Amino acid sequence: MKNPFHKWSIRWKMAAGFSLVLFLSVTVLLTYFIGKQRHALKSGLEARVTTVANMLSWSLVILVDAAAVTGDVKPIEEVIESARQDSQLVGIRVENASGTRLAGFDDKALTGTDTNSHFKTTRFTDDLLLLNMPIRKDDNNIGVLRMGYSLAGLHSEQRQLLLTGLGIGLVTLLAGILLAFAIGHRISRPLVRMTSTFKRMAEGDLNQQPVRESGADEIGFLARAFNELLQQLKDLSQLAQAISQGDLTHTIKTKGDLADAFRRMTASIVEITSSFNQMAARMDSRISEILTTAKEQEAGAAQQAAAVTEVTSTMEELAATARQISQNAESVTSSAEEASRAVTDGREALFAFVKSMNSIETGNKTISDNIVGLNRHVQQIRGIIDIINDIADRSDLLALNAALEGTKAGEAGKGFLLVAAEMRRLSENVFNSTAEIKQLITEVTEATNATVMANESGLRATQEGTERAAEAEQAFGRIVETIEETSRAAKQISLATQQQHTGTDQIVSAMGEVANVSQQWLNGIRSTTQAVSELSTTAAQLRQLVSRYRLGSE
Amino acid sequence: MNTLSGQPADNQQLPEQELNLFVFRSGSETYAADPELVQEVVAAGEPTAIPFVPDWVEGVVSVRGKIVPVIDLVGFFGLESTTTYNRKRLILFAVDGVEFGLWSEQVLGIKSYPAGLSETPLSTLPATLQECLQSQLRHQEVLVYILDMNKLLEKSRQQVAS
C-alpha cells in the first residue's frame, strides 16, 4: 500500500499532524460554545420578554374588559405605546377573545393561531421571537397580547463571538505548527547529519567528522553510539591502510571480532614477510657469489682474447717492421757510399781552409807589432805637447807682467802694452791648438787600442780554427771507418730480417686459431652471466616487494 | 802705433773717457783693481799655512825672496762658492808698502772701459764686499766689482786683529 506522506520529512509530518488535531479541536470547541451561547441568549431574551408581557397583560386586563363594553381602545393604545420604548420590539397587538384586533402597530406579522390558549406561548422564527400572552380575568381569556421581538442584536453578538473564536483558533494553530516544526527540526537534524555521514561512509570515505550532539536524550545517545562506530571503522581503516603501505608496526586499541581478525592478519603477514626476507637474503648472497665467479671468468677470458689479439697485431707489426728494416738497411748501404764520397770532398776542403788560416795568422802578427810601435810614437807626441803648453803658460805670464809694467810706465809703455796683449793672444792660440792635438791623440790611442784588441781576438780565432780543422780531419777519418762498418752491418740486418719475416707469418696464423677458441669460450661465459643477472633481478624484485613491509622488530 | 798716436787727441776732446782697470776672475765673480797697485802676476805653488789666522788667510808664499801673505777673496767676502775654484795665478798687490797676494782663476789683463758705466752697488751684496767696493760696472753682460784696495787692506787687517 502506498502512503502518500512517506516522502515527507519528519518536521513536515509533525506539522501536518499537529495542525490537523488543533484545527479539529478548535472547530469542535467553537461549534459547541457558540451553540451554548445562542441557547443562553435566547433563554435570557425569552425570560425578559415574558416578564414584560406579564406586566403588560396585568395592566391591560381592565382596559380590555372595559373596551369590550365601551369599545373605547384609546387607553389600550396608550399602554402599548409605553411598551414601544424597547428598541428590540418589532411589533405589538392586542386582540379580544374573539380574535378581533383592538389596538397595535407594525402587527402584520403577528397573526397567531393559538388564540385561546390559557398559557403563554413563544415561538422563534429566523429573525423574530413571537410571543402570545393571554389576558385573563377570573380564569377566562378575555383577550390576547401578541408581541414580536427582533433577533438582530443576538445575531450580531453571536457573529462577534465567532470571529473572536476563529482569531484565537488561528493564532493557536500557527503557534502549534511552529512548535511542531521546532521539535521536528530538533529530532531530524542529527538524523540528517548521520544519514549523510553514513552515505559518504557507504561510498568509501571514512574520513568523516564525528557528529556533535551532546543532548542526554535518545538522539544524543544515538549520536554517541554512531561516533563510536565511526571511530572504530576509522581505526580499522587506518590499520588496513598502514598494512597496504607496508607498515606492520601499526596497532589499534579497538575491541571486537573484526579488530581481532585484523590483528591476527597483521601477525601472520609479519611472520611471512620475515621468513621471506631471510630466504631472499640467502638467495641474494648465493647469486652474488655466482655472479662474482662468472665475472672473474669473463674478465679472464676477455683478457685472454685481448692478449691474443694484441699478440697477433704485434706480430703483424713485427712483420711489417722487419720489411721496413730490410728496406732501410738497403738504403743505409747506398747512403753509406754517398757519405764516403762526401767525406773525401770535405777533407780536401779542410786542407785548403787550414792553409788560409796559417797565412791570416802571419798577417795578424805583423799588424800587432806595427800598432805597438805607433802607440809608442803617440806617447812621445803627448810629452812634447806638455812641454809646448808649459812654454805657452810661461809666455802668457810674462806677457801679463810686461803689460803691467807697460801700464805703470804710462804713455811710454802703451806700445809695449799692445805687444804684450798680442803675445797673450798667441799663447792662448797655442793652448787651444794643443788641446785639439791632445783630443786627436786620445782618439788615435782609443782607435789603436780597439784595433789591438780586435787583432788579438782575431789571432785567437785563427789559432782555434786551425786546431778545430785538425780535429775535424781526425773526425773525418773516423767517419770513413764508421761508414764502412755501417754498410757491412746493414747488409747482415737485411738478411736476418728476411728470416724473421717468415717466422712471424707462421706465428700470426697460429694466433688466429687461438683467438677463435677463446672468443667461443667468452661467449659461453657471457650467456651464463646474463642468466644469473636476470635471476638476480628477479630476486631483487621479490625482495623489493617484501621490503614494503616494515616489521616491528626491525 | 799710428792708431795709438791718434788717441791722445780723442782723450783731450773727451777727458777721462777711458777707465783702465786690471780685471781678474776669482770664484764665480769678476773683480777689477787699479793697475798701479798690481806689482806682479806669478804662477805660485802651494802656500805655507800659518797659525792663528782666519780661514781666508791661506798662508804665505815666497816670491823672489819676499814673504807674502795669500788671501782667498771668496772666503774673505763670505761668498758662497760651491765649487772650489782653480788657484792658477797669484796676483801680488802693493798697497801703502804692504804686499799681499790674491788668488785668481783667470787673469783677463788690463782692460779699458768707457767712463760712465759705474753703478751703485746693490744693497743685497754681503757686507764685507759692499764695504770694500769702490763701485761696480756692467760691460758686455759681465758685472765687474771694482775693488777699493785700501779699504780691503784695512778691513782684512781689522778682521785679523779681532
Q: Do B109 and A424 touch (CB under 8 A)?
A: yes
- B18 CB near a chain A CB, below 8 Å? no
Residue B8: predicted pLDDT: 42
Closest-CA distance of chain A to residue B51, Å: 31
| Of B21, B51, B46, B143, the residue nearest B101 (C-alpha) | B46
Residue A246: predicted pLDDT: 76
- In the predicted structure, residue A466 carries a pLDDT above the cut 60: yes
Which residues on A lie below 8 Å from B40 (Cβ)?
401, 404
Chain pair A-B, CB pairs under 8 angstroms: 35
Where do the DSSP E strands lie in A46-139? 89-96, 101-105, 121-124, 128-137
Instruction: Give the residue extent of every domain in chain A.
Output: 10-184, 188-264, 276-546
Per-residue confidence band for B12, with pLDDT thresholds at 50, 70 and 90 = very low
Per-residue confidence band for B69, with pLDDT thresholds at 50, 70 and 90 = very high
State the CATH architecture for A10-184.
2-Layer Sandwich (3.30)
Q: What is the mean pLDDT of residues A511-531?
A: 81
Per-residue confidence band for B92, with pLDDT thresholds at 50, 70 and 90 = very high
| Interface-testing mutation among A393, A397, A404, with chain B (most B C-beta atoms within 10 A) | A404
| CATH no., domain A276-546 | 1.10.287
Q: What is the mean pLDDT of residues A400-404?
A: 89
Domain A188-264 has what CATH class?
mainly alpha
Residue A154: predicted pLDDT: 82
Residue A253: predicted pLDDT: 76
Q: Do A404 and B38 touch (CB under 8 A)?
A: yes
Lowest mean pLDDT among A20-24, A43-47, A321-325: A321-325
Q: Do B4 and A400 touch (CB under 8 A)?
A: no
Contact between A319 and A505 under an 8 Å Cβ cutoff? The reply is yes
Q: What is the mean pLDDT of residues A439-451?
A: 89
Partner-chain residue, chosen from B8, B35, B43, that has the shortest CB–CB distance to A397: B43
Q: What is the mean pLDDT of residues A308-312?
A: 81
Which residues on B lie below 8 Å from A408 (Cβ)?
35-36
Q: Considering only alpha carbons, which residue of chain A is nearest residue B43?
A: A397
Q: Do B1 and A393 touch (CB under 8 A)?
A: no
List, for residues A123-157, the tens digit of each pLDDT value. Answer: 888 788 888 888 888 777 888 888 888 888 888 88
ipTM surpasses cut 0.85: no
What residues are paired with B147 via a beta bridge?
B133
- B57 CB near a chain A CB, below 8 Å? no
- In the predicted structure, residue A439 carries a pLDDT above the cut 90: yes
Closest-CA distance of chain B to residue A381, Å: 25
- In the predicted structure, residue A503 carries a pLDDT above the cut 60: yes
Rounded CA-CA distance A310/A514 in Å is: 12
Measured CA angle at A69 (ends A63, A71), to 5 deg? 75
Q: Do B4 and A393 touch (CB under 8 A)?
A: no
Phi-psi region of A241 (alpha: psi -120 to 50; beta: other; left: phi over 0): alpha
Instruction: Give the residue extent of every domain in chain B.
Output: 19-161
Residue A554: predicted pLDDT: 45
Local structure of A409: helix, strand or coil = coil
- In the predicted structure, residue A177 carries a pLDDT above the cut 90: no
Q: Considering only alpha carbons, which residue of chain B is nearest residue A404?
A: B35
* pLDDT, averaged across chain B: 82
- In the predicted structure, residue A208 carries a pLDDT above the cut 70: yes
- Exposure string (b/e) for A153-178, b if CB count within 10 Å is 16 or more? ebeeebeebeeebeeebeeebeebbe
Query: Hey, how many other C-beta atoms are within 10 angstroms of the C-beta on A206?
Result: 17
Contact between A115 and A166 under an 8 Å Cβ cutoff? The reply is no
Partner-chain residue, chosen from A407, A421, A424, that has the shortest CB–CB distance to B35: A407
Q: Do B110 and A415 touch (CB under 8 A)?
A: no
Partner-chain residue, chosen from A407, A411, A415, that has the shortest CB–CB distance to B110: A407
- B122 CB near a chain A CB, below 8 Å? no
Q: Do B4 and A418 touch (CB under 8 A)?
A: yes
Which residues on B lie below 8 Å from A393 (Cβ)?
43
Lowest mean pLDDT among A443-447, A448-452, A499-503, B68-72: A499-503
| Interface-testing mutation among A390, A396, A398, A400, with chain B (most B C-beta atoms within 10 A) | A400
Per-residue confidence band for A331, with pLDDT thresholds at 50, 70 and 90 = confident
| Interface-testing mutation among A407, A417, A426, A427, with chain B (most B C-beta atoms within 10 A) | A407
Residue A189: predicted pLDDT: 81
Closest-CA distance of chain A to residue B11, Å: 12
Return the CA Rg of chain B: 17
Q: What is the mean pLDDT of residues A409-426?
A: 86
Partner-chain residue, chosen from B42, B89, B110, that has the shortest CB–CB distance to A403: B110
- In the predicted structure, residue B15 carries a pLDDT above the cut 60: no
Rounded CA-CA distance A101/A95 in Å is: 4
Closest-CA distance of chain A to residue B106, Å: 11
Residue A335: predicted pLDDT: 84
In this structure, the strands spanning B38-42 and A89-96 are: unpaired
Residue B3: predicted pLDDT: 40
Kindly state the cell numbers that stand for B144: 765687474
* pLDDT, averaged across chain A: 83
| Of B14, B30, B42, the residue nearest B139 (C-alpha) | B30
Q: What is the mean pLDDT of residues A174-200?
A: 84
Query: Does the domain formed by B19-161 have CATH 2.40.50.180?
Result: yes
Per-residue confidence band for A117, with pLDDT thresholds at 50, 70 and 90 = low
Which residues on B lie below 8 Å from A400 (Cβ)?
41, 107, 109
Q: Considering only alpha carbons, which residue of chain B is nearest residue A420?
A: B109
Q: Considering only alpha carbons, which residue of chain B is nearest residue A421?
A: B109
Which residues on A lie below 8 Å from B105 (Cβ)?
none
Q: What is the mean pLDDT of residues A395-419?
A: 87
Q: What is the mean pLDDT of residues A331-341?
A: 83
Q: Do B20 and A407 touch (CB under 8 A)?
A: yes
Residue B93: predicted pLDDT: 92
Residue B5: predicted pLDDT: 41
Between A282 and A252, whose confidence is greater? A282
List, for residues B101-135, the tens digit of each pLDDT value. Answer: 998 888 888 888 888 888 888 888 888 888 888 88
- In the predicted structure, residue A98 carries a pLDDT above the cut 80: no
- B107 CB near a chain A CB, below 8 Å? yes
